[in-house]
């Protein structure tokens, strides 16, 4: 543990300033691509190696979400904070939907199935996040430790179960179309992605506000991760077709968001720590 | 029959004879069909955390329950663990217990802590991270 605490090459403020830099860069890239890239050129530049995409989704979004969901699980079971429970459920929903979407983006159902799951997962996840962010200001801990495990199973299982059911319906063709090849995004997709984008951005701002008071590295990196995910959703919103340069800018932003969430967990290793007495050590 | 405690015997017999005398007493009670519950006040230190009787008498006992004070969250708590129970796959977890007006109440295990028996309890690495995670996201509540 002392070794982990000392593994910092730069002062915290410097690393955090560097951490903010990708956010305006990705916003600028999406804006530039949106302005300069005609639809026909964007479609001709579309690059969709399905195995690579699925692997990236699994590694950077599902893998990182499992780590965060596990830490949130342990944290909720010992502390009972609903903020943490909702956060863990949100991250698990996002990771699960991203992974399933990654593996289902190709034929036989075409990109619609993957897009439906990914975008719906983003909306479900963003609802959990905004609920989590709004409970940070209220005392919402579950004092009854016996009821925590059932609540955890309900929240985590509900998030994954809902998306698994949605996947089943999407595979059966029982869900409304989100993406029509040749025509592009449907209004439903734009509404779902727009709502998810707004809620992710709002959650990021609320967590950032909490960071402003506490100066906790965990909050900083996690709010940045949410901001990058919101940027990724914005790219889905503005993208012309699946796998075009705007879509890849968004994908890379969300992958970086996954890495940032891991940095948030790493920050928890480094402190501020809780001693056995439960009080933070400066 | 409850013998409270066997340490009294220690005061009256030479140290080398303690095991033999204890054996005689316990065997006598057994032959009379009496189940003895023996209490032994053990000296506890970090170097002898897992030694219960110091005199090697555990073999005489069918069921060995260790009671211990532990310091957690800056308060003394009573801990209980079953060290041995012949013929039983017993619970090995260290649990908190309380002596209440209605009797002994055995509570939940001390989950997430390590080193309780050795007298240096600290949260496990995962628990440390989970604690820091909780502190970060519930900071405003703690402040209030």
Q: What is the CATH number of the domain that holds A83?
A: 1.20.1070
**Secondary structure (H, E, C), A73-116:** HHHHHHHCEHHHHHHHHHHHHHHHHHHHHHHCCCCCCCHHHHHH
Residue B134, in any domain of the structure: no
Once rounded to an integer, what is the mean pLDDT over residues B28-46?
84
- In chain A, residues with a C-beta closer than 8 Å to the C-beta of B108 are 145
Residue A12, in any domain of the structure: no
Residue A16, in any domain of the structure: no
Task: Using the structure block, give the residue that is written with the tokens 């592009």.
Answer: A184
Residue A11 has pLDDT above 70, yes or no: no
Using a 10 angstrom Cβ sphere, with 0-12 exposed, 13-18 middle and 19 or more buried, the burial of residue B66 is middle
Once rounded to an integer, what is the mean pLDDT over residues B57-66?
86
pLDDT tier at B116, thresholds 50, 70, 90: confident
Mean pLDDT of chain A: 86
Query: Which range scores top for mean pLDDT: A34-38, A136-140, A247-251, B124-128?
Result: A247-251
Cβ atoms of A94 and A121 closer than 8 Å? yes
- Would you state the pLDDT for residue A218? 93
- In chain A, residues with a C-beta closer than 8 Å to the C-beta of B144 are 139
Chain B residue nearest residue A266, CA to CA: B129
Residue A10, in any domain of the structure: no
Cβ atoms of A178 and A109 closer than 8 Å? no
Mean pLDDT of chain B: 82
* Domains identified in chain B, total number: 1
Residue to mutate among B72, B116, B134, with most A CBs inside 10 A, is B134
Predicted ipTM > 0.90: no
Query: Lowest-pLDDT range, A66-70, A231-235, A261-265, B130-134?
Result: B130-134
Token pair in block for residue B114 = 């390590």
Residue B58 has pLDDT above 60, yes or no: yes
- Residues of chain B with pLDDT > 70, as a percent, come to 85
Cβ atoms of A105 and A140 closer than 8 Å? no
- Would you state the pLDDT for residue A68? 96
Instruction: Say whether B132 and A268 touch across the interface (CB within 8 A).
Output: yes
Token pair in block for residue A201 = 């951005």
Residue B46, in any domain of the structure: yes
Residue A107's CB is within 10 A of a number of other CB atoms, namely 9
Query: Lowest-pLDDT range, A3-17, A144-158, B64-78?
Result: A3-17
Tell me whether B50 touches chain A (CB under 8 Å). no
Residue A3 has pLDDT above 60, yes or no: no
- Residues of chain B with pLDDT > 90, as a percent, come to 11
- Would you state the pLDDT for residue B14? 84
Residue A116, in any domain of the structure: yes
* Domains identified in chain A, total number: 1
Chain A residue nearest residue B120, CA to CA: A276
Task: Using the structure block, give the residue that is written with the tokens 């439960």.
Answer: A278
Compute the nearest-CA separation of A254 from chain B (Å).
22
Using a 10 angstrom Cβ sphere, with 0-12 exposed, 13-18 middle and 19 or more buried, the burial of residue A184 is middle
Instruction: Say whether A274 and B112 touch across the interface (CB within 8 A).
Output: no
Report the residue from B121, B134, B139 with minimal CB separation from A75.
Answer: B134
Tell me which H or E stretch contains B103: strand B103-109
- Would you state the pLDDT for residue A17? 86
Residue A1 has pLDDT above 70, yes or no: no
Residue A200 has pLDDT above 70, yes or no: yes
Q: What's the domain range around B22? A: 1-61
Residue A65 has pLDDT above 70, yes or no: yes
Residue A4, in any domain of the structure: no
**DSSP SS3 for A259:** helix
Once rounded to an integer, what is the mean pLDDT over residues B27-40?
91
Instruction: Say whether A214 and B136 touch across the interface (CB within 8 A).
Output: yes
- In chain B, residues with a C-beta closer than 8 Å to the C-beta of A219 are 136-137, 139
Token pair in block for residue B139 = 């900071």
- Would you state the pLDDT for residue B54? 65
Residue B80, in any domain of the structure: no
Instruction: Say whether B133 and A265 touch across the interface (CB within 8 A).
Output: yes
Span A73-102, pLDDT tens digits: 999 988 889 999 999 999 999 999 999 999
Tell me whether B98 touches chain A (CB under 8 Å). no
Token pair in block for residue B30 = 């057994």
Once rounded to an integer, what is the mean pLDDT over residues A109-121?
87
Residue A3's CB is within 10 A of a number of other CB atoms, namely 6
The count of C-alpha atoms lying within 13 angstroms of the C-alpha of B57, restricted to the half-sphere facing its C-beta, is 26
pLDDT tier at B46, thresholds 50, 70, 90: low
**Beta partners for residue A208, in sequence order:** none
Chain B residue nearest residue A271, CA to CA: B132
Q: Which residues contact A162 (CB under 8 A, 6 or more apart)?
A: A93, A124
Q: What's the domain range around A156? A: 50-271
Once rounded to an integer, what is the mean pLDDT over residues B90-112?
85
d(CA A243, CA A168): 24
Residue B77 has pLDDT above 90, yes or no: no
Residue A207, in any domain of the structure: yes
Beta-strand pair B75-85/B63-72: antiparallel
Residue A5, in any domain of the structure: no
Report the residue from B111, B128, B137 with minimal CB separation from A81.
Answer: B137
Residue A281, in any domain of the structure: no
d(CA B7, CA A62): 60
Span A120-176, pLDDT tens digits: 999 999 999 999 999 887 756 666 777 899 999 999 999 999 999 999 999 998 999
């Amino acid at each position: 543990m002392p070794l982990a605490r000392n593994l910092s090459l730069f002062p915290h403020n410097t690393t955090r300033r560097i951490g903010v830099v990708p956010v305006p860069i990705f916003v600028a890239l999406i804006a530039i691509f949106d302005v300069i890239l005609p639809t026909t050129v964007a479609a001709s530049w579309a690059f969709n190696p399905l195995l690579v995409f699925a692997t990236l989704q699994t590694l950077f979004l599902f893998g990182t979400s499992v780590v965060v969901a596990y830490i949130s699980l342990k944290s909720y079971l010992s502390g009972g904070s609903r903020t943490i429970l909702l956060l863990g459920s949100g991250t698990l929903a996002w990771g699960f939907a991203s992974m399933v979407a990654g593996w289902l983006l190709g034929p036989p159902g075409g990109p619609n199935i993957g897009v439906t799951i990914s975008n719906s997962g983003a909306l479900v996840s963003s609802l959990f996040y905004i609920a989590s962010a709004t409970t940070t200001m209220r005392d919402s801990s579950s004092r009854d430790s016996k009821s925590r495990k059932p609540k955890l199973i309900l929240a985590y299982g509900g998030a994954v179960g809902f998306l698994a059911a949605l996947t089943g319906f999407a595979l059966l063709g029982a869900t409304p179309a989100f993406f029509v090849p040749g025509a592009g995004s449907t209004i439903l997709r734009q509404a779902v992605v727009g709502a998810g984008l707004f809620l992710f951005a709002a959650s990021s701002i609320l967590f950032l506000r909490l960071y402003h008071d506490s100066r906790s590295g965990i909050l900083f990196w996690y709010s940045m991760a949410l901001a990058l995910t919101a940027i990724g959703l914005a790219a889905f919103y503005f993208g012309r077709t699946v796998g075009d340069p705007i879509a890849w800018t968004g994908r890379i932003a969300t992958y970086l968001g996954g890495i940032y969430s891991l940095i948030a967990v790493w920050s928890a290793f480094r402190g501020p720590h809780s001693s056995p007495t439960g009080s933070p050590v400066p | 029959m409850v013998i409270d405690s066997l340490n009294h015997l220690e005061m009256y017999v030479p140290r080398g004879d303690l095991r033999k005398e204890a054996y005689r007493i316990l065997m006598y009670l057994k032959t009379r069909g009496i189940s003895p519950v023996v209490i032994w006040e053990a000296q506890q230190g970090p170097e002898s955390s897992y030694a219960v009787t110091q005199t090697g008498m555990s073999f005489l006992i069918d069921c060995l329950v260790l009671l211990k004070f532990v310091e957690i969250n800056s308060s003394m708590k009573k801990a209980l663990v079953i060290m041995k129970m012949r013929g039983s796959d017993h619970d090995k977890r260290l649990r908190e217990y309380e002596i209440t007006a209605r009797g002994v109440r055995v509570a939940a295990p001390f989950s997430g802590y390590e080193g309780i028996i050795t007298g240096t309890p600290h949260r496990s690495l995962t628990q440390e991270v989970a604690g820091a995670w909780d502190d970060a996201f519930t900071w405003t509540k703690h402040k209030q």
